[in-house]
């Protein structure tokens, strides 16, 4: 099972809130499915299965929080933030989403989830939260059984205000529906605001899963965020550890490409084999990168090197889009002494046989080590 993140103290009604992990996918899918099948609260028409929900959780956690609420050991709701729009200028604005299990609505679960979500978003540098709420189309008959008024009312209680409305933009159950955009400002719009910090980057403000990992025993040796990024950016190779056949550890040396914008590490390799089979069974993985080391004359013995190492724990996502995969392969090739013609020749020769995957970080640490 995927390790759970440390939960904040239980609130009213014994509800605890924590960061989601991939193993929460089935519970989240089960909570969401009735909303899809029976209501117009979401405009999705087919409920996603656990595999698709797992993919969504992983994608959201690259940059924003995804939280689950538990009561008595059972998942009773989830909430997450996501990009309001893809362009970087929107980074300080996030869209919020929440779903609570039928029997748990009206018991404080939603308030706990949104309260913690707001705190984490504010810590990342997000200033505005936007909620897209389904509403009846103008002139619709009252009493639509598929669209209760609970969501607009809940958002108003949480401090959101309606700032715009699309009259008839969705169709479900043979009816037209509109959406209201509701907004809550959670930070000042200063002339020079702090940057948005994606949660998966080293030092990400909402990096709650770090609670699952032991603190570094020799904290004085810990690398700075800049050093961590430098090691990952310049590493020519490292070791990826996965859960292999029979549950035994399996390690393989790979060449990484580090995407500083998302914090992801990308790798390429054959489409089949022990490594890929293992990752399809269990996407959890750990990658270790070590720089070349330097001689420090002030630290004997003379033969010893001082080097920096970085360990990235996370889960793997496969890159299915072919153009995206080839683009990543090109970026990886450019880290080596190859001209563009040689790169394109290599891509043409091996591109169809290559699989690209990303290690999505859940926790990143680094330290400086002297060999002696």
Backbone angles phi, psi at 334, to 5 degrees: -70, -10
Residue 370, number of CB atoms within 10 A of its CB: 13
Report the alpha-carbon distance of residue 149 to residue 138 in Å, rounded.
Answer: 15
Residue 163: predicted pLDDT: 98
Q: Is the pLDDT of residue 223 over 50?
A: yes
Provide the terminal-to-terminal Cα distance of the chain, rounded to the nearest Å. 38
pLDDT in tens, 179-195: 999 999 999 999 999 88
Distances (CA, A) of 267 to 100, 252, 319, 361: 37, 11, 10, 14
Report the alpha-carbon distance of residue 344 to residue 333 in Å, rounded.
Answer: 9
Contact 28, 20 (CB under 8 A): yes
pLDDT in tens, 35-69: 999 999 999 999 999 999 999 998 898 889 999 99
Tell me, rounded to whole angstroms, the distance of Cα 195 from its chain centroid. 18
Q: Average pLDDT, stretch 311-320?
A: 87
Q: Is the pLDDT of residue 254 over 70?
A: yes
Which pLDDT band, with edges at 50, 70 and 90, does 6 fall under? very low
- Between the ranges 32-41, 97-106, 210-219, 332-341, where is the mean pLDDT highest? 32-41
Closest-CA residue to 104 (of 80, 79, 76, 68): 76
The CATH architecture to which 12-185 belongs is 3-Layer(aba) Sandwich (3.40)
Pick the residue with more confidence: 369 or 115?
115
Q: Quote the DSSP letter at residue 46.
A: S
For 224, the token pair is: 């700075």
Residue 197, number of CB atoms within 10 A of its CB: 19
What are the residues facing 250 on neighbouring strands? 242
Domain range summary for the chain, segments of one domain joined by +: 12-185, 213-370
Class of domain 213-370: mainly beta
Q: CB within 8 A of 175, min separation 6: which ones?
A: 40, 137, 140, 144, 146
Mean pLDDT of the residues in the chain = 86
Q: Is the pLDDT of residue 208 over 60?
A: no
Q: Is the pLDDT of residue 10 over 80?
A: no
Asked which of 76-90, 100-114, 229-243, 293-307 is least confident by mean pLDDT, the reply is: 293-307
Contact 304, 370 (CB under 8 A): yes
Pick the residue with more confidence: 18 or 325?
18
DSSP states of 125-194 as a string? T--EEEEEEEEEPTTPPS--TT--SHHHHHHHHTT-EEEEEEEEEEEETTEEEEEEEEEEE-S---SSPP
pLDDT in tens, 329-359: 888 888 777 788 887 887 777 666 788 899 9
Query: What percent of the chain clears pLDDT 70, i.e. is strictly above it?
Result: 90
301 prior amide bond cis, ω within 30: yes
């Amino acid at each position: 099972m995927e390790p759970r993140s440390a939960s904040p103290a239980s609130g009213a009604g014994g509800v605890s809130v924590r960061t989601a992990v991939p193993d929460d996918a089935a519970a989240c899918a089960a909570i969401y499915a009735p909303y899809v099948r029976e209501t117009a609260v979401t405009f999705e028409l087919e409920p996603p299965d656990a595999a698709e929900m797992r993919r969504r959780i992983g994608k959201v956690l690259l940059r924003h929080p995804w939280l689950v609420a538990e009561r008595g050991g059972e998942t009773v709701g989830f909430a997450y933030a996501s990009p309001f729009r893809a362009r970087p200028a929107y980074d300080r604005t996030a869209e919020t989403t929440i779903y609570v299990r039928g029997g748990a609505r009206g018991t404080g679960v939603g308030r706990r989830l949104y309260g913690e979500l707001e705190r984490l978003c504010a810590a990342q540098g997000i200033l505005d939260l936007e909620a897209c709420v389904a509403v009846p189309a103008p002139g619709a008959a009252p009493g639509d059984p598929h669209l209760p008024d609970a969501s607009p009312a809940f958002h108003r209680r949480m401090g959101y205000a309606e700032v715009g409305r699309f009259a008839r933009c969705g169709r479900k159950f043979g009816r037209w529906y509109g959406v209201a955009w509701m907004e809550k400002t959670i930070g000042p719009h200063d002339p020079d605001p702090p940057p948005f910090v994606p949660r998966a980057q080293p030092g990400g403000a909402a990096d709650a899963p770090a609670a699952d990992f032991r603190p570094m025993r020799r904290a004085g040796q810990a690398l700075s965020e800049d050093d961590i990024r430098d090691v990952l950016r310049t590493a020519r190779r490292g070791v990826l550890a996965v859960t292999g056949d029979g549950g035994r550890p399996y390690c393989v040396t790979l060449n990484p490409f580090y995407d500083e914008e998302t914090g992801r590490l990308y790798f390429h390799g054959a489409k089949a084999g022990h490594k890929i089979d293992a990752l399809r069974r269990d996407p959890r993985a750990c990658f270790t990168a070590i720089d070349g080391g330097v001689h420090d004359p002030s630290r004997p013995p003379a033969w010893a090197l001082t080097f920096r190492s970085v360990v990235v724990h996370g889960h793997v996502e496969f890159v299915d889009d072919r153009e995206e995969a080839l683009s990543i392969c090109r970026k990886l090739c450019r880290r080596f002494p190859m001209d563009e013609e040689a790169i394109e020749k290599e891509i043409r020769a091996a591109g169809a046989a290559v699989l690209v995957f990303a290690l999505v970080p859940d926790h990143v640490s680094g330290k400086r080590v002297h060999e002696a």
